[in-house]
Structure 1
Amino acid sequence: MHEDYYEEKLDPNLAALLPEGLRVEKVAAFQVSKPRFIGDIGLRGFFQLYKKAKRIIREEQIDFLYIPIPSFYVALLGRWLHFSTGVKYGIDYIDPWVHHFAGSDRMFSRHWFSTKLSSFLEPIAVKRASLITGVAEGYYGGVKDRNPHLLEKAVFGAMPYGGEMIDYQKVNTLSIEPYLFRRNEKFQLVYAGAMLPKAYGPLEQIFKVIADHPQQFSDLEIHFIGTGKLANDSNSFNIKPIAKKFGLWKTVVFEYPQRIPYLDVLIHLRAADGIFILGSTEPHYTPSKVYQGVMSGKPVFAVLHQESQALKVLQQARAGVVIAFDGEAGLDTISENFSATFEQYRKFVKEFSTEQVDIGAFEQYSAYAVTRQLASLIDLAVEKNS
């Protein structure tokens, strides 16, 4: 979609990260109506995307169409374009589509309608798909359960986000300074990115320990960036109410709900003493944030499900300290071990050197390796459905 039609704040620096000579096609979209009836960019530009994609597929003999979601509505383009052109297509589940939110069981609520609509549209979109991917199997596992016919005709593959060291090198060429917080005498950690739906239980355990040991954590600051309910709302706090509940707001815990540009995130990671990674009570947490934290050159403190792939990679890389817990049943493990483990982490930070990190442990999550994996999956999907 053309950038003029997005509601979110744009990040022009991202364009500088694209390879030279990369061809980018853009289409228009319908403007957001007043009152705001349809806001989703994928829905507002759906027909424009279809028209241009159909022309390119036919004129240039495109073999495969790969559609990342969200926006979830654009997944329907695959089925429609397959019908009109015969092109094979795949869908990448960056987020699960059919998702039961808190409140989904309350009839006629917003979440109820959302779950019903996604349950209706997803089978239509994936019916002729040749490839289904996601950052971890947990993101698309339900697709196989709901659409068992895909097991015979489609290829499935877990493919986490890749990290690119060039991005961090690019940061050094930009005149961007951290603006959400300033360096001081405190021990500062940064958590950057959205909160996972089932990460609040572990977070409450952590906040409770910090509140119960005010002397031990008197010098600690944790800065949560981009954790709000809405990407562009600076007041859509998710962390603040929990921090206030434990008396930590604006003393230990700080939240900046609004999303900030990608390169700005990297600047703030580099400005901190360490990176805070928080998983959830579900095991399918991928190493993408861990990889990002390690490439920032900062030691990582992580609280992760014991079956998380991120835990194993972080330990192999010798890049941080981890508390592992066993889902909902193991939340007490966090409160029992947090205080002592955090002191281990302080010592780890003092002795930390980037030279001790085994970056090879992350090789499979590099942008190059992940792209190679995607190319192999597409080849398999085309061959299986030829």
Structure 2
Amino acid sequence: MTHRVLIISPHFPPINAADHQRVRMSLPYFKEFGWKPHILTVRPEFIEGVNDSLLAKTIPQHIPVTYTKALPFQYTKHLGIGSLGLRCFPYLLQAGDRLLSQTKFDLIYFSTTVFITMALGARWYRRFNIPYVLDFQDPWLSDYYEKSGLSPPGGRLKYKFSQLQAEILEPIAVSNVNHIISVSPEYPKTLQQRYKHLKAEQFTVLPFGAPESDFEQLPSLNIQQQIFNPKDGKRHWVYVGAVGNIMSFALRVLFLGIQSQRRQNPEVWESIKLHFVGTSYASDHRAVKTVEPIAKELGVADLVEEYPYRIPYFEALQTLIDSDAILLIGSDDPGYTASKLYPCILAKKPILAIFHQQSSVIKILNKCRAGRAITFTSGNQPGDLLNQITAELNWFLSLQKGYQPETDWSAFKAYTAKEMTRQQCCIFDLSLN
């Protein structure tokens, strides 16, 4: 028997937004596990971001998609409203009401970081008696920036407004939720402490699936990345992804290690270039560099090139493929998990990760033997890790060009998109019971 699931994912291809990844990677396998998906999303022209037409072509053609409007950003920005959630909420509400009235769905699944749309789950449960599942890919209501004293992305005023929304809407969203999926084991702990009616059996920790199929088709796309020339004789170390203030500790560890190592062997570093790509959360002229200032502070700015703008998804994969080594920079938040880990492993390049010791990235990286990791705790200072980072940098420098890690691919199978979709559908099945 096949069941129908309505998937709410306002960021969806062809917009290159990170929070469509779970849905996109699951779509080819839902039918195999007994589920027929229908996507409810926002039309691409209403979404601020990198338009990636190649990404849209990876979506199976038979999947029905209902597109809805949102208030245009070019008008609402003058009122200080840029959030897609606020701009699309009434349209998603209307479109969802119509779909659920006209078609029988067995389950509603919210897979998005446009968190305020999750409040619609409680409304639709009351009106249509359809169970719903929430997928928390990041924390919604959080006191992290208040405790750390760091400046949040977008500034404190914007962040306080988003947190006010969370204080109001998160309790509504979880009031009648059937199950909650989380990419991090820390989120379930926080939510159970905050909402006493939620039980441990209502949570499943489920990372994103690895995009194997994307790497399989990458050679046929003939993508040319524009970040560096892989044939210029230099060795290019690459990091792809946003860099917020929460990652400044790991960056300081890295640059402090380079500073120390270069003093001892300056000639070795003449051929090394570090590239940080897509580091800003903004996608337009508001994008600012956050890595180069730290590199300058620690005297290694001449080795570092930062491209703060987001690049199309497949170009980002090609940048990893063309690199000589991959850097993974982690947050000082123990609950942070990096979905970008799997593409880095699939690129088959040496990996150096700097993460909090409680991050799931460390567990996965070690289990698959796909790279080297330096871990820290909340009480560490960058200098405490100097011996570790210099040892790992020496290892990086000793590798021959073209080196591939001896990854345990049998262990990696547990993180493939198909396996993650199977686990997803098991959760869906339980939600019906």
- 8 A contact 2:185–2:335 mirrored in 1: yes
TM norm structure 2: 0.81
1:304-315 correspondence to structure 2 within 5 Å: 304-315=355-366
Could you tell me how far apart the structure 1 residues matched to 2:273 and 2:349 are?
16
Aligned equivalent of 2:191, options 126, 140, 143 = 143
Please state how far the C-alpha of 1:382 moved relative to its aligned partner.
2.6
Residues 240 and 193 of structure 1: CA distance in aligned 2, closer, same or farther (over 3 Å): same
Aligned equivalent of 2:16: none
Moved more, 83-92 or 214-223: 214-223
Deviation (angstroms), 1:8? 1.7
Local SS of the residue matching 1:303: strand
TM-score (norm 1): 0.90
Residue equivalent to 1:46:
89
2:330 paired residue number: 279
Letter in 1 for 2:331: S
Output one character per residue of 1:55-82: Cα deviation in whole Å (capped at 9) or x when no partner.
2223221111111232111111111211
Contact 2:116 2:165 in 1 (8 A): no
Answer whether contact 1:206 1:334 (CA < 8 A) is retained.
no
**Mean CA deviation greater in 110-119 or 142-151:** 110-119
Q: 1:269: how far off?
A: 0.5
How far the C-alpha of 1:196 sits from its partner, in A, is 5.4
Alpha-carbon deviations, 1:3-54, whole Å to 9, x = none?
A: 1211223111111111241222211222222514322222222122122222
Q: Distance in 1 between matches of 2:286 and 2:400?
A: 31
Secondary structure, aligned partner of 2:193:
helix
Stretch deviating more after TM superposition (340-349 or 370-379): 340-349
Q: Classify 1:312/1:7 alpha carbon distance in 2 versus 1 (closer, same or farther; 3 Å).
A: closer
- Structure 2 CA distance for partners of 1:349 and 1:95, relative to 1, 3 Å: farther
- Which residue, out of 240, 259, 276, partners 2:310? 259
- Map 1:202-241; keep pairs closer than 5 Å: 202-214=250-262, 215=266, 216-233=268-285, 235-241=287-293
Matched residue, 2:176? 128
Q: 1:182-208 deviations in whole A, cap 9, x for unaligned?
A: 222222111111235532112112212
Distance verdict in 2 for CA 1:348–1:285, change over 3 Å: farther
SS at match of 1:67: strand
Separation in 2, partners of 1:285, 1:362? 20
What is the 5 A alignment of 1:194-209?
194-195=242-243, 197-209=245-257
Q: 1:25 aligns with which of 66, 70, 74?
A: 66
Q: Following the alignment from structure 2 to structure 1, what is the Cα–Cα distance between the partners of residues 208 and 223?
A: 25
Aligned length: 379
Counterpart of 1:90 (choices 130, 133, 141) is 133
Paired AA for residue 236 in structure 1: V
1:242 matched residue in structure 2: 294
Partner of 1:14: 55
| Pair 31,287 (structure 1): closer, same or farther in 2 beyond 3 Å | closer
Residue 113 of structure 1: aligned partner: 161
Aligned-partner SS, 2:96: helix
Aligned counterpart for 2:203 among listed residues 150, 156, 174: 156
Task: Give the aligned partner of residue 321 of structure 1.
Answer: 372
Deviation at 1:331, TM superposition (A): 4.3
Q: Which residue of 2 aligns with 1:173?
A: 220
- 224-233 or 160-169: bigger deviation: 224-233
Give the Å deviation of 1:127: 0.8
Q: CA deviation at 1:330?
A: 6.5
**Structure 1 residues 209 and 81: CA distance shift in structure 2, 3 A:** same
Structure 1: tracts of 5 or more residues without a match: none
CA contact (8 A) 2:324 2:401 kept: no
Partner of 1:185: 233
Letter in 2 for 1:75: M
Distance 2:286 2:235 in 1: 25
Give the alignment's Cα RMSD to 1 decimal.
2.4
Identity of aligned residues (%): 28
- Please tell me whether the aligned partners of residues 234 and 257 of structure 1 are also in contact (alpha carbons under 8 angstroms): no
The separation in 1 between residues aligned to 2:196 and 2:112, in whole angstroms, is 21
Displacement of 1:369: 0.8
Report deviation, 1:359.
1.3
Counterpart pick for 1:77 among 114, 120, 142: 120
Q: 1:220 to 1:36 in 2, by over 3 A?
A: farther
Whether 2:386 is the aligned partner of 1:335: answer yes
**Cα distance change, pair 318–200 in 1 and its aligned pair in 2 (3 A):** same
